[in-house]
Amino acid sequence: MSFLPPKEIAETALTIGEKKGKMTVSAIFWPGILAGAYIAFAALACLTVSAGWVGDWAASGLNKAAGAAVFAVGLMMVVIAGAELFTGNNMYVAVSFFAGRTRALELVRNWTAVFFTNFIGALVLAAIVYWGGYLFQDGALTAFGTKAVAVAETKVGYSWAAAFLRGVGCNWLVCVAVWMSVGAQDIAGKIFACFFPIFTFVLCGFEHSVANMFFIPLGLLAAKGSVASLTLSAFFVRNLIPVTLGNIVGGGIFVAMFYYLTYLRAKK
């Protein structure tokens, strides 16, 4: 494995961010859907692993670690196969914006288009899981379905401030993973670059907006209105909005702006 030094990573990320800022909505559409689906696949794997633990083991650190380990595959697919992920683009396009190579309108266009196409991809997989029979068996919730409801209920139960701050922590780590993957010169290096920060964010209980586009709608489908706190309004107001804003701060400020100030400000 070989890696670029930090300054070259910053310069490469700036070039990538400038290109992303100039992408049209039509160019974003399909890779945006793919990224939403890739993260949803990772969330599905995370739920599957977590649902298999019973008793005291269900709340153990080992259970969380197992889910965190499989979730990392989502970003690996985005980075290696190629897709447009909202949380990663919070960093890429922001660093180009700070360097003066991307206009504010281009930044907003990119983030908005990627956000909604990621949402489509995540909902497509939620529909596949629902109609694929994962949630119910003989009219009763499966262990997987019960876990889906519990996860969604937890996510809408945070205060607005807690959801926001958990979003900040999440995308700080996600964008560090993306940033390091830019420096990796082969697939093995990109896998290692993605794995450890993503493992850490999931283990710490941080909140990822695109993953929640799958987790919470799936919980809503499983609950079928039986959980009073689990509603569409709660999904958007108590989770998706504050988590999305936190993700923007985590990736756009703590990674993009900090590395811009460290390595790129003089170039501007």
Phi-psi region of 2 (alpha: psi -120 to 50; beta: other; left: phi over 0): beta
Question: What tokens does 166 get?
Answer: 């958990």
Cα 98 to Cα 37, 151, 245, 266: the distances in Å are 30, 37, 18, 12
Residues 6+ apart with CB under 8 A from 110: 20, 21, 23, 28, 89, 93
Q: Does 57 have pLDDT greater than 60?
A: no
Query: pLDDT-derived band of residue 266, with 50, 70 and 90 as boundaries?
Result: confident
Q: What is the mean pLDDT of residues 65-70?
A: 93
What pLDDT sits at residue 51? 87
Q: Does 55 have pLDDT greater than 80?
A: no
Query: pLDDT-derived band of residue 197, with 50, 70 and 90 as boundaries?
Result: very high
Mean pLDDT of all residues belonging to the chain: 95
Question: What tokens does 222 get?
Answer: 């499983």
Query: pLDDT-derived band of residue 52, with 50, 70 and 90 as boundaries?
Result: confident
Query: pLDDT-derived band of residue 2, with 50, 70 and 90 as boundaries?
Result: confident
In this structure, are strands 136-137 and 140-141 parallel, antiparallel, or unpaired? antiparallel
Question: What tokens does 157 get?
Answer: 């139960």
Phi-psi region of 166 (alpha: psi -120 to 50; beta: other; left: phi over 0): alpha
What pLDDT sits at residue 58? 59
Domains, the chain, in order of start with CATH, read 6-264 (1.20.1080.10)
For 98-126, what is each residue's pLDDT tens digit? 999 999 999 999 999 999 999 999 999 99
Q: What is the mean pLDDT of residues 63-80?
A: 95
The model carries a pTM of: 0.96
Output DSSP code: residue 60.
S
Provide the b/e sequence for 90-102 (b: ≥16 CB within 10 Å): bbbbbbbbbbebb
Q: What is the mean pLDDT of residues 158-173?
A: 98
The residue type found at 175 is C
Map tokens 């692993």 to a residue. 49
What is the enclosing helix (H) or strand (E) of 183?
Answer: helix 160-183
User: SS3 of 53, please?
Assistant: coil
The residue type found at 124 is V
What is the enclosing helix (H) or strand (E) of 136?
Answer: strand 136-137
The residue type found at 73 is V
**Alpha helix (H) residue ranges in 134-231:** 143-155, 160-183, 187-203, 209-223
What pLDDT sits at residue 22? 98
Query: pLDDT-derived band of residue 44, with 50, 70 and 90 as boundaries?
Result: very high
Q: Does 49 have pLDDT greater than 70?
A: yes
Residues 6+ apart with CB under 8 A from 256: 17, 90, 91, 92, 94, 95, 97, 98, 175
- Percent of the residues in the chain that have a pLDDT greater than 90, as a whole number: 92
Q: What is the mean pLDDT of residues 231-245?
A: 98
Question: What tokens does 74 get?
Answer: 């989502």
Bridge partners, residue 184, by sequence? 3
